Amino acid sequence: MQFVMDCLTVNENGNLSMAGCDLTEVARQFGTPAYVMDEMQIRQNCRTYRKSIEEYYDGNGLVLYASKAFSCKAIYRMMQEEGMGIDVVSGGELYTALQAGFPAEKIYFHGNNKTEAELTLALEYGVGRFVVDNRYELDMLNRIAGEMGKIAKILFRIKPGIDAHTHSFIQTGQIDSKFGVALETGEAEEIIGYAAKLSSVEVVGIHCHIGSQIFELEPFQMAAKVMLKLMATVKDAFGLELKELNLGGGFGIKYVKEDMPIDYDRYMEAVSQVVHQECARLGMNLPFIVIEPGRSIVASAGLTLYTVGCVKEIPNVRTYVSVDGGMADNPRHIMYGAEYEAVLPRNPLGEPEMTVTVAGKCCESGDILIRDIALPKVEPGDLLAMLATGAYHYSMASNYNRIPRPPVVMLKDGKASLAVRRERYEDLLNCDL
Ligand SMILES: *Cc1c(COP(=O)(O)O)cnc(C)c1O
């Protein structure tokens, strides 16, 4: 592979190309900075996951797109067309999905601190599942559903206690996590027993999500095993047969050459083997299997186009190449120390000539996008493409420094169209009184 993104090629003019579109043309047409995504790559990723559910579970399952990775009306419409469910973690994501016409019954509502207003909205719209995080939420949901004469179908978010060897900021499986109820302390079993007696919730299953950007198979297999054991325990203790097992997302993607993600189909196969084995061993029926990939559906289908401004060479120290975006459209380096590859769309395979640090334009010294990357000669006015920015970029973008958010340009079959238009200065005043 030439690039960390499979959907990139070099066209006959020697320019970087995606979905049959010359990216220097896309930049000319839509301006920079701009998020650019390959629609067929996104759809293909959904199809791969859906096919694995068919293959390894006889179709007895559902793939949810974890929409916090990239949320806008266009992606919810695409997910509906691909037969996916979605997960949302806030009233805002829920509202966007519903406005896009996404069917409420295929929405799972996550979050460790859903508000009364959010739970009420979700119940009114008939959201399919609530993934309940804690006792406070459970009591509130049971009360609101009761007042509305509804029964909320719930799963519990479990901390299975698995260390997934990833960056500590995005590790969520251990006991010291704000998400969910703990397994090893008996808290999980206790809350399930308590919920089983409530009148306005129906406990249908359990959920875990052990982290993100994980490259190993074993943590996923261990999580499946631990969760199935909990299902068996619950059946013994309360005679309650949980029908649904949601194993979360977290599959790693390639940001830099050193990242070695495993084929998503292999994860699915490896986990399904454990699920089948353990169900047989515990004498249980196979549960309905739900998975929730976010990053691995959109990350490698997107990049960000920037224009280079000043190139500041500090002799014997470093050369800063500043671009027309930064931490406002990509906070991942400043938040997690995330690493990226970048290429020059007019010369994507050029020999490296200089080592530079790519900086943003925000008023923070930490507003760096890439530290020490070798690039061909870069000059003011050059386009720069930062790769694998399809997940957790647009959705994490802010208006810091009152910088308008970039547009999202969707590419398909040689055509480019806007999924989200560029913010204008007047949009920045929408809420100012
Ligand atoms: C973030 C999240 C996901 C998706 O994680 P990815 O690493 O993007 O695949 C799935 N489920 C839950 C509950 C999450 O919080």
- Render 204-223 in DSSP notation, one character per residue: EEEE---BSSB--SHHHHHH
Pocket of ligand 1 (CB under 6 A): 66, 68-69, 87, 110, 209, 212, 248-251, 292-296
CA distance 31 to 112: 38
Q: Given a cut of 70, is residue 1 above it in pLDDT?
A: no
Closest CA to 150 of 128, 117, 175: 128
pLDDT, tens digit, for every residue of 252-289? Answer: 999 999 999 999 999 999 999 999 999 999 999 999 99
Please tell me the distance from the alpha carbon of residue 327 to that of residue 28, in angstroms, as a whole number: 23
**What is the spatial distance between Cα 433 and Cα 279, in angstroms, rounded to a whole number?**
59
User: Looking at ligand 1, which residue's alpha carbon is closest to its atom 11?
Assistant: 248
- Whole-number pLDDT of residue 173: 57
Tell me the whole-structure pTM to 2 decimals: 0.97
Q: What is the pLDDT, as a whole number, of residue 166?
A: 60
The reported pLDDT for the residue numbered 78 is 98
CA angle 279, 280, 284 (to 5 degrees): 50
* Spacing, Cα 41 to ligand 1 middle (Å): 19
Contact at 8 Å (CB) between 187 and 120?
A: no
Pairwise CA distance, residues 215 & 59, whole Å: 25
* For residues 56-85, average pLDDT: 98
**Whether pLDDT at 68 is above 70:** yes
Q: What is the pLDDT of residue 162?
A: 85
Is the pLDDT score of 172 beyond 70? no
CA of 249 to the centre of ligand 1 (A): 5
Structural domains present in the chain: 8-38+300-429 (2.40.37.10), 110-293 (3.20.20.10)
